[in-house]
């Protein structure tokens, strides 16, 4: 038996019949559909879905975009110009989307009708990036520059919790998601760790085995674990609620994996490859990673979400498009 086959069998055992070995599988001829964003050079970044629509941030033009299943786009300017909206998430009641404004240190809320409210963060170094709805009815966000995890109530009251063990501009919390254990989980881009924060604010960090991996995206899987991407590690990682980490190599070298999301019925995970210009798929119970090229060259796919039509939708930061992938 070859070394590669022995490694594959070992990883299958570790992941308990989840995804297993590193490797490349032929694409199943999925179709990528691309839709241009109305404003040129908008640099669409993050994406979420509510009520049959996808909403996304336009980081370069300070707008929130709304895309219909037909591909038509509607845009809404943030009240503060040049705000650099970054992360976005849907409210559990589907009444609004909440987003971070990295350049002006604010959290924004937009109703489905387009009405916006902004809530300032009392920290000039905050640089908020990721945001997610928490299990406690609040919204949780990362402060990349402030090295804090923030919590904002639906009424706009903000509390900040420091990430211990690392100083400002060294830990750099990036993206955040709600975990299966009732806690919030986040990536520490320059801290080379995965963090966990309880709803009461207790933070624990878990180091990633690969040095200088620069973890980026993170999502809850259907297997009771969290899955994350490693920008420079070129790997997909899996961490249990207890903190045990296993990593899987991405087939394309220097692909810069970024956003990651759970697909329909929880059967697979989808992730974006910024430099690889591909979308990757990890199917639970099936060894290997399937990669699908994006038609637009150098489009820089970054964030991905299960879309309004039950297919994955993703942003193209450099391609200035929103795209969906159909199998």
pLDDT digits (tens, 9 = 90+) for 203-261: 999 999 999 999 999 999 999 999 999 999 999 999 999 999 999 999 999 999 999 99
Q: Which of 119-123, 201-205, 282-286 has the least mean pLDDT?
A: 282-286
Measured CA to CA, the distance from residue 27 to residue 92 in angstroms comes to: 34
The percent of residues in the chain predicted with pLDDT above 90, rounded, is 84
For 140, 176, 237, 299, the CA distances from 131, given in Å and listed in that order, are: 6, 6, 20, 24
CB of 229 closer than 8 Å to CB of 236: yes
- Looking at the predicted structure, is the pLDDT value of residue 185 above 70? yes
- Looking at the predicted structure, is the pLDDT value of residue 20 above 80? no
What pLDDT shows up at residue 30?
87
Q: Which CATH class is domain 14-326?
A: mainly beta
12: phi then psi, degrees, rounded to nearest 5: -60, -45
Q: How confident is the model at residue 2 (pLDDT cuts 50, 70, 90)?
A: very low
Q: How confident is the model at residue 27 (pLDDT cuts 50, 70, 90)?
A: very low
What pLDDT shows up at residue 28?
54
Alpha helices in 133-260 (DSSP H): none
Kindly tell me the burial class for residue 8, based on how many C-beta atoms sit within 10 Å of its own C-beta (0-12, 13-18, 19 or more): middle
- Looking at the predicted structure, is the pLDDT value of residue 4 above 60? no
- Looking at the predicted structure, is the pLDDT value of residue 22 above 50? no
322: phi then psi, degrees, rounded to nearest 5: -110, 140
CB of 205 closer than 8 Å to CB of 197: no
What pLDDT shows up at residue 23?
38
Per-residue pLDDT tens digits for 49-99: 998 899 999 999 999 999 998 899 999 999 999 999 999 999 999 999 999
Measured CA to CA, the distance from residue 142 to residue 132 in angstroms comes to: 9
What pLDDT shows up at residue 116?
98
Quickly tell me which residue has 């509510």 as its tokens: 50
- Looking at the predicted structure, is the pLDDT value of residue 17 above 60? no
Measured CA to CA, the distance from residue 62 to residue 166 in angstroms comes to: 31
Q: Where are the domains of the chain?
A: 14-326
Please list the residues that pair with 79 across neighbouring strands.
none
CB of 35 closer than 8 Å to CB of 264: no
Better pLDDT: 264 or 165:
264
Containing 11, the helix (H) or strand (E) segment is: helix 3-14
Tokens of 238: 């899996």
For 8, 93, 111, the CA distances from 314, given in Å and listed in that order, are: 30, 23, 22
Containing 6, the helix (H) or strand (E) segment is: helix 3-14
**Cβ neighbours around 167 below 10 Å, total:** 10
Mean pLDDT value of segment 176-200: 97
Measured CA to CA, the distance from residue 241 to residue 227 in angstroms comes to: 11
Q: Which of 82-86, 106-110, 122-126 has the least mean pLDDT?
A: 122-126
> Sign of dihedral through CA atoms 309, 314, 319, 321?
positive
List, as one string, the DSSP characters of 267-294.
SEEEEEETTTTEEEEEETTS-SEEEEE-
> With the CA atoms of 302, 306, 309 and 315 taken in that order, what torsion angle do they form, in degrees rounded to the nearest 10?
-10
Strands 24-25 and 289-293, bridge-based pairing: parallel
- Looking at the predicted structure, is the pLDDT value of residue 24 above 50? no
Q: What is the mean pLDDT of the chain?
A: 91
């Amino acid at each position: 038996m070859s070394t590669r086959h022995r490694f594959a069998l070992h990883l299958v055992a570790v992941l308990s019949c989840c995804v297993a070995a590193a490797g490349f599988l032929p694409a199943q001829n999925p179709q990528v559909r691309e839709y241009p964003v109305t404003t040129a050079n908008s640099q669409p970044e993050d994406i979420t879905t509510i009520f049959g629509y996808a909403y996304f941030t336009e980081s370069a033009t300070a707008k929130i975009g709304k895309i219909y299943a037909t591909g038509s786009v509607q845009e809404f300017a943030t009240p503060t110009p040049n705000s650099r909206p970054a992360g976005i998430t849907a409210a559990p009641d589907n009444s609004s989307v909440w987003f971070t404004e990295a350049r002006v240190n604010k959290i924004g809320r937009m109703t489905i009708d387009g009405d916006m409210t902004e809530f300032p963060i009392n920290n000039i170094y905050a640089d908020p990036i990721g945001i997610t709805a928490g299990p406690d009815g609040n919204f949780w966000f990362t402060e990349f520059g402030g090295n804090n995890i923030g919590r904002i109530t639906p009424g706009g009251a903000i509390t900040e919790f420091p990430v211990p063990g690392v100083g400002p501009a060294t830990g750099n919390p990036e993206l955040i998601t709600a975990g299966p254990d009732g806690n919030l989980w986040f990536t520490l881009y320059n801290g080379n760790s995965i963090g966990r924060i309880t709803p009461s604010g207790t933070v624990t960090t878990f180091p990633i085995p690969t040095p200088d991996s620069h973890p980026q995206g993170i999502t809850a899987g259907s297997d009771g674990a969290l899955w994350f991407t490693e920008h420079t590690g070129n790997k997909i990682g899996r961490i249990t609620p207890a903190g045990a980490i296993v990593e899987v190599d991405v087939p394309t070298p220097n692909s810069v994996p970024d956003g990651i999301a759970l697909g329909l019925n929880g059967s697979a995970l989808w992730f974006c490859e910024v430099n690889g210009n591909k979308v990757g798929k990890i199917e639970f119970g099936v060894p290997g990673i399937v990669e699908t090229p994006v038609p637009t060259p150098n489009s820089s796919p970054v964030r991905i979400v299960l879309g309004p039509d039950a297919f994955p939708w993703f942003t193209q930061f450099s391609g200035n498009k929103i795209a969906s992938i159909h199998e």
